[in-house]
Amino acid sequence: MTNPTSGNQGSALRPRARLLRTLGEELISNEVVAIIELVKNAYDADATRVLIRFTPPLARGNGLIEVIDNGHGMELKTIQQVWMEPATPSKRGPERRTRQFKRRYLGEKGIGRFAASRLADELEVVSRTEGAPKEVYAVFDWRQFDDDKKFLDEILVLWDTRSPADIKAGGTVELLWRKDRKRPAARDLGHGTILRMTGLKQTWEAKQFEDLRRGLARLISPADRGGDDKDGFEVELDLPSEFSEYSSKVVPPPILKHPHYTIKGSVNEKGAFKLTYKILSEGIEKEAKGRFVRVKDAKGRFDFRVLKEKEETEDQRPSETRTIECGPFDMEMRIWDRDELGNVIQKTHSTIQDIRRDLDAVAGINIYRDNFRVLPYGEPKDDWLRLDIRRVQNPTLRISNNQVYGVIGISADKNPQLHDQSNREGLDENQGLADLREVITEALNQLEQLRYSTRPRVKNRDRKPVGGLFSGFDLSPISAYIAKQLPDDKEAKDLVEATERAFGSQLKEIQVVLARYQRLALLGQLVDHVLHEGRQPIASIKNESQFGLSDLQGPVQLPRELARKLAERFGTIHKQDDVLATAFRRMEPFGGRRRGRPVQLYLEEIIRDAFAVFAGDLDRLKIRASLPLTETLVRVDPAEIQEVVINLLTNSLHWLEQTNEAKREIAVTVVRRGQEHVEISFSDSGPGVPAENRELIFEPYFTTKPDGIGLGLCIAGEIVTDYYEGSLELLDRGPLDGANFLITLRKRV
């Protein structure tokens, strides 16, 4: 609907009244968020105290909610020209900070005030500025905005000034200090704002108060909790007796003071970071420095990378990098082992159930902009970093969302990419937010590795580099003992022999089942590479077939040139079919068929087939692979050997991608040392294995990759040990400067 203007120059927009109510009800998702938006307004008014008071009955159509603050208050002009103007530019000028405490304004969009319409049918606003002889009084009946026939300029809002009744000594505002021993000064009682909302839109119950208290407890960053400081910010809930457990000053639970692990540090605008990791039970403190960047790969994509200080030299720095776009921020995270909360019980004298409930209430990674929380990050079930999925994939190593409380501090001025969505709930999904996710996940990844290395594990001094699962199933000592002690006891001998045969049979079945599960560990990678190898040839076959059919639609007597083209195209089809057949043949050993007997094959050919599966990756990353030219005839299962080689190869591909392109190299050699002794040397020029991780890399679920599972080397080692009575070792040095592995085969070969 439009409103005609003078003359015939056009028309002005004339919105319906319900538009204003829509702002409150559609852009504010629920009642808890609505109250938090009103508390934000108090923060923007330089308030240091806020009281949220609920008066029963808290049923729909009844009850009262009051939000009382001691901010600077509003004049009548402010209510008329600012508070009642949606999307007002009053907070978007060059000076975007509050007048007294210079807080960064939170409500720049100018719609948070209409959260009141989400809560109740009527709103009374009482406000007074410091030194003003009168207080402003306004009444809003939100039900007027439900009339579809009314236009916005037809809505009647009542406002006036009156002698102070609420904001004065002895008035409602004094409730902010009701629990203080010392009475506030008269000057402190002469300014502030009171919002009274009557006729509740929804019934309030315990779950909502629990959510509200949790949301308010994390509303202000811990870095900005001023306590008794003049610019602190305190929020208190005053609730009916049946909800007394939620009625008090809002403070974080005491568990936050007693973490097991911490991460603290900062990232600057260029991605340079300085982080400190602590493991409190061990007294370990480790500092990490470097730079988060995106590095261009062979396909032109910019992949997230961590450059350590030594890689910033001209010789080591990647050729083309891009600065992360999330901007500078501070980071602090506190992490707990949920099954080891004895220290928290000791300090808080709470039960384990209460402590875990408190941890559930605060767990999550929170984002704070200018020390004020950005919703919904860190809310229950808002696992925006997908930590729980990472833990499902690797429960031994990874940290879940309910184990960590995190504070990420950003700034509206310094982090322009991290801006709100229009509904005020969450940041826009852009490259800045993607970079922020990558950085935080990598920081947690580093702590997970450090945490894993210090956790208690069963130690065995005689342990081989990788032990066999079945080495303990040997009855020969029992047979020898019975033969010596009971030489005439035939029944005992027969029993031991029968048991030994049964054990052997069962162990073979177990080994078959285990082999199938080992294959499954590589299934995801293999499917990806089947698709990678097969997609392009299939596309070529399809395109060329279409071209051929199109050409065949011509006259029966084909011109010579056309016949030549058809011959070339169908020749191409046959070539591409050969490509597919070769790729599938290389994958065939990884099928789910029952394992057959080892056969005589050339070991080098098996290794070359394994590398051929990843030929595209080797070319893309420009990795030079030096493979053995010898011919060593062995008796092996090709799937087992390929599994070992591919596990080593995929690790090398990951780490070589993070090194200088000019120095990427893999070298493999095969040497027969004796009749039942063959060695495979596998080396790369990557960063190598850090000294602190050398004893951990063969353990199941340990990984230094942010999204790794940590089973590759463990599975490879078990194959070599259990099926070939050999070993998989990490050598101190080798032909290349990176990781150097030695595979020794002593059976079947």
Query: pLDDT tens, 710-722?
Result: 778 888 888 898 8
- On the question of pLDDT at 88 being above 60, the answer is no
Angstrom distance (rounded) from CA 664 to CA 618? 10
Q: What is the pLDDT of residues 638-657, one digit of tens each?
A: 888 988 999 999 999 999 98
Closest CA to 236 of 77, 459, 35, 450: 35
**Of the given ranges (120-129, 150-159, 239-248, 464-473), which has the lowest mean pLDDT?**
464-473
The full set of domains in the chain, from first to last, is: 15-251 (3.30.565.10), 256-454 (no CATH)
User: Angle CA(558)–CA(560)–CA(562) in degrees, nearest 5?
Assistant: 65
- On the question of pLDDT at 458 being above 70, the answer is no
What's the pTM? Answer: 0.62
Residue 276's pLDDT band (boundaries 50, 70, 90)?
very high
What is the distance, to the nearest Å, from the Cα of residue 676 to the centroid of all Cα atoms in its chain? 48
Residue given tokens 């290389």 in the structure block: 586
If DSSP codes are grouped into helix, strand and coil, which group holds residue 713? helix
Question: Do 666 and 625 touch, CB atoms closer than 8 A?
Answer: yes
Kindly state the average pLDDT of the residues 320-336. 93
Q: Would you mind telling me the total number of residues written for the chain in this entry?
A: 749
pLDDT of residue 139: 92
Q: What is the pLDDT of residues 98-138, one digit of tens each?
A: 888 887 776 555 555 677 888 999 999 999 999 999 999 99
Residues 6+ apart with CB under 8 A from 600: 633, 634, 635
Q: What is the pLDDT of residues 358-376, one digit of tens each?
A: 898 889 999 998 888 888 8
Closest CA to 664 of 295, 309, 291, 289: 295
Angstrom distance (rounded) from CA 448 to CA 436? 18
pLDDT of residue 1: 46
pLDDT of residue 432: 94
Angstrom distance (rounded) from CA 496 to CA 485? 14
Residues 6+ apart with CB under 8 A from 317: 307, 311, 660
Angstrom distance (rounded) from CA 718 to CA 700? 11
